[in-house]
Amino acid sequence: MKIIIIGASGLVGSHCMDLFESVGEEVVGTHLNFATERTIYFNPLSNSNGNLDLDQFKPEVIIHCAALTNVDYCENNVLESERATVLSTKKLVNYCKKNGVKLVYISTDYVFDGNMGPYTEDAATNPINIYGQHKLKAELLVKTLNNYLIARITNVYGEEVRSKNFVLRLIKLFQNNEETELNLPADQFATPVYAGDVARMLYKLILDNKNGIYNLSSSDYYTRYSLAKRVKSYFPDNEKIVLKSVLTNKLNQPARRPLNGGLLNIKFLNEYNDFKLSNVDDFISKMIKYEL
């Protein structure tokens, strides 16, 4: 299978690239702003993309992992957010429509308002910030294709070059044992999921040519504060890092956050009932064996 991963230098994209290459698929990974040795530059909105010629490579599947995920930045930079999320997706949708290519789009639980989560795939969408609105617009574009997957994820963690994800940053912080105080929301619930599990789930869905929307999450359900406490429990001797719980409305964030968010993975697990998900404890246990 010939696969292009847009945003392969990021967390989900890099794990997809690792897995797909390991099973012998022909994979090209791209980056936009953060280059790695394994990825090539590609901008969906540009007509000049250096070493990547879609027509020459002739992909069977495009996985669109790239995103502008800083929610507050999106709120204050609406046009940039729209270009990065909506217009880039529109360009890829047009290519896939013209060439009969399957598009896999990585979306988010931020398409929901956070009043009634965790959510199933058919729950009513109602984004409450710019990031969520643009992700939903992109979803609607993807749905115009005959052959597509929309994979909704949230609070993804895992090994990553830049250690940007919340769980990995926390582990590193506790290992470095520097004096720090963290104010963390205790009322924003989500379903964190390991990036390696996301890649494995996506690969099964692609192999079986599944269509439609799938939530890809684990059984974990944490707030940022409770998740940080869970990580801290693995470092009982660390007294320099203080975790403080705060309510979201006290943080004065530019973008509103869904509070009772998260995703239910019932649909996928009903179809793949032998799939074994990992959890946050599995990841922490693995990573504390290494110096990050």
195-249: per-residue pLDDT in tens?
999 999 999 999 999 999 999 999 999 999 999 999 999 999 888 999 999 999 9
The Cα–Cα gap between 56 and 66 comes to 22
Please say if the pLDDT value at position 160 is more than 80: yes
291 band by pLDDT with thresholds 50, 70 and 90: low
Q: Is 35 within a domain?
A: yes
Percent above pLDDT 90 for the chain: 89
Same domain (yes/no): 178, 213? no
Percent above pLDDT 70 for the chain: 98
Same domain (yes/no): 98, 233? no
Please say if the pLDDT value at position 39 is more than 90: yes
pLDDT tens for residues 174-185?
Answer: 999 888 999 999
Please say if the pLDDT value at position 38 is more than 80: yes
Q: What is the CATH number of the domain that holds 213?
A: 3.40.50.720
49 band by pLDDT with thresholds 50, 70 and 90: low
Rounded to the nearest 5°, which phi and psi values hold at 174?
-70, -35
Least confident of 6-10, 50-54, 60-64, 159-163: 50-54
Higher per-residue pLDDT: 122 or 67:
122
Same domain (yes/no): 141, 62? yes
Total domains in the chain come to 2
Same domain (yes/no): 67, 136? yes
Same domain (yes/no): 9, 105? yes
Rounded to the nearest 5°, which phi and psi values hold at 62?
-115, 125
Same domain (yes/no): 63, 128? yes
292 band by pLDDT with thresholds 50, 70 and 90: very low
Q: What pLDDT, on the 0 to 100 scale, is given for residue 139?
A: 98
Q: Is 292 within a domain?
A: no
Q: Is 254 within a domain?
A: yes
> What is the residue range of 252's domain?
166-187+222-260+280-287
Q: Is 78 within a domain?
A: yes
Helices and strands (DSSP H and E) totals, the chain: 11, 13
- To the question of pTM greater than 0.75 for the whole model, the response is yes
Q: What is the CATH number of the domain that holds 247?
A: 3.90.25
Please say if the pLDDT value at position 51 is more than 70: no
Same domain (yes/no): 217, 229? no
Q: Are 220 and 167 in contact (CB under 8 A)?
A: no
Q: What pLDDT, on the 0 to 100 scale, is given for residue 177?
A: 87
Same domain (yes/no): 251, 116? no
Rounded to the nearest 5°, which phi and psi values hold at 172?
-65, -40
Same domain (yes/no): 208, 234? no
Please say if the pLDDT value at position 189 is more than 60: yes
Q: Is 136 within a domain?
A: yes
Q: Which residues are CB-neighbours of 259 under 8 A, at least 6 positions away?
A: 114, 115, 187, 188, 189, 248
Average pLDDT, the chain: 95
Please say if the pLDDT value at position 288 is more than 80: yes
